[in-house]
Amino acid sequence: MTIVARWFRRSARPLPWREPGTTPWGIVLSEVMAQQTPVARVAPMWLEWVERWPTATSLADSSAADVVRAWGRLGYPRRALNLHAAATTIRDEFGGVVPSDVGSLESLPGIGSYTARAVAAFAFGQRVPVVDTNIRRVLSRAVLGIAEPGPPRTRADMDLMESVLPADPAESVAVNAGVMELGAVFCTARTPNCGECPIAEECAWAFAGFPANAGRTRTPQAKYEGSVRQARGAILALARANPRVTASDIAVAVPDSSKRERALEGLLSDGLLVNSSRGYALPA
C-alpha cells in the first residue's frame, strides 16, 4: 500500500483540516462533522467553527443552544450536542487538551471507535487502523477481490486494515488517509472509476475481472420529502430562529399530526429541544 501513500501526498483533495497547523481539536471537529455528510458541505462550516471555537474549552463555555444554532442545516443535529458534551469533558477532565490515546478518546461523549482512531492517527500521527465505509469497500475490492463488503465486523475489519499498514507511523497515517480518499474519489460504491485508480494494477477485484460478487444487498434510503426527518428539521429551524416556540407554531410548520408528534418526541428525547410552560426551546 505504499503506492497509496505516495498518491495521497501528491493528489489529496485540498480540505482545510488537512492544512499544516490544524490542531487536534480541529481534527475532532472535522471527523464529527463529516459523519454522513459530504465534505463539500462540511468545509465552510468547519472554517466558521474553528474561527468561533478554536479550542474545546471555548466550545464548552458556550451554551448548547448556541452550538445547535451554529450547526444550522449540516444534518443529524444530535452531533452538535455530542460535540458540546465532548468539549465539556475535554475541558473538565483533560484540562482542555484533546487526549491522544484511543481509549481516552472513546470515553468522550459521541466519540466512537472510528472517530477515536481517526483522531489518534490524523491528529497525533499514531499507527492505528482506521476503518470507515470507504475503507471497508476499498479493502474488500483491492485485497479480498469482493465487489462489496459484507456486514461490518469490527475485529476482522480492523485486522484487515492493520495488515496493510506500514510499520512506520507517518507512512501508516498516509495509508489510512489514502485508502479512505480512494474510496471517496475512485473506488465509489455505485460507479467506481477503475481506469483512473492508482492501485488498479494491484487490485484483486480488477485482477479477477470485476466479478459481481457483492457481499451485501443495498437498502435504499427513505425519501426525505414528507418524512419525520423533514418534520424534525422544520421544528428545529423554528427553534433556532425563535427563543420560544409554541405548539401552534409547530402545528403550522408541520401540519401532519402523526409526523409532528413523532418528530417532537424524538427531538425531546435527543435533548435537542426542551419543553416548559412557555413552549419549546433549544437546550440552555
Q: How far from 64 is each of 139, 159, 240, 273, CA to CA, in Å? A: 39, 38, 12, 10
The phi, psi pair for 31, rounded to 5°, reads -65, -40
Judging by beta carbons within 10 Å of its beta carbon (0-12, 13-18, 19+), is residue 240 exposed, middle or buried?
middle
C-alpha–C-alpha distance, residues 79 and 75, integer Å = 8
Cβ neighbors of 40 (< 8 A, separation 6 or more) are none
The active-site residue out of 31, 162, 196, 261 is 31
- CB of 145 closer than 8 Å to CB of 134: no
Cβ neighbors of 125 (< 8 A, separation 6 or more) are 169, 170, 173
Residue 202 is a catalytic residue: no
Determine the number of helices (DSSP H) and then strands (DSSP E) in the chain.
Answer: 15, 2
Closest CA to 200 of 142, 144, 160: 142
Catalytic residues: 31
